[in-house]
Chains A and B, each alone.
Chain A
Amino acid sequence: GNSVTQMEGPVTLSEEAFLTINCTYTATGYPSLFWYVQYPGEGLQLLLKATKADDKGSNKGFEATYRKETTSFHLEKGSVQVSDSAVYFCALSPYTGGFKTIFGAGTRLFVKA
């Protein structure tokens, strides 16, 4: 079946530190991959996406590369800010099966000033 596995949180970093949140997936075919972010008190919103192997999604300084050989889509940012504190969800949309989007459990990030 289709599933997403994320590293457990919380992740606590100091401002300007390097961030990596690991995400691996299981899917048939070639799914589209996403990172969503949920800031405190707000709904989930799309951070970035990649639709095929070797694609790199990027937004707001965050990047993730679609790695088919390792079935991974790790989220990275070179220098985090306090305002990046949020919960990050890795997700996939299978190639078949309509428009279902399957989410990982989420990783909470705390950034200290």
Chain B
Amino acid sequence: EAGVAQSPRYKIIEKRQSVAFWCNPISGHATLYWYQQILGQGPKLLIQFQNNGVVDDSQLPKDRFSAERLKGVDSTLKIQPAKLEDSAVYLCASSPRTRRTSTNEKLFFGSGTQLSVL
């Protein structure tokens, strides 16, 4: 079974530039997440999709970050314009979510995109 695919693996940009990350979840997984992992910290949820609808984007800085999940499969996360504090690893995860009220779901993570903003 193919895992969660992310690209690019690394990205270096200057502040105020824009950047986009791509994620392809495991086939059939309805739920997709984007997490931000700053060095030395745990992953922080940015946005959660159920199929192509947003379930939770309460921690997404909407003035500069945007995300979409077209057709309920692939997803892109964009930052425009980037700031120095956006330097982090951006992780995509997916899960099958077999029951609406399940809390014991397992997340499947991609390897992440390491972003450096100079």
Contacts and interface: CB of A to CB of B under 8 A. Distances in A.
Q: Looking at chain A's contact residues, is the secondary structure mostly helix, strand, loop, or mixed?
A: loop
A103 B36 CA distance: 11
B4 A100 contact: no
Interface in B81-118: 91, 93, 95, 97, 102-112
Contacts of B103: 31-32, 51, 93-95, 99
A101 B45 contact: yes
A4 B108 CA distance: 20
Contacts of B4: 43
Given A49-B106, A99-B105, A42 B111 contact: yes
Interface residues of B, number: 29
B78 to A, nearest CB: 21
Contacts of A44: 43, 91, 93, 107, 109
A106 to B, nearest CB: 5
Interface string B19-39: 000000000000101010000
Contacts of B104: 32, 49, 51, 93
B107 A101 contact: yes
Nearest to B110: A43
B105 to A, nearest CB: 6
Given A43-B109, A44-B91, A105-B40, 8 more contacts: A36-B109, A42-B111, A51-B104, A89-B43, A98-B55, A103-B44, A106-B41, A106-B42
Interface of B: 3-4, 31, 33, 35, 40-45, 48, 55-56, 91, 93, 95, 97, 102-112
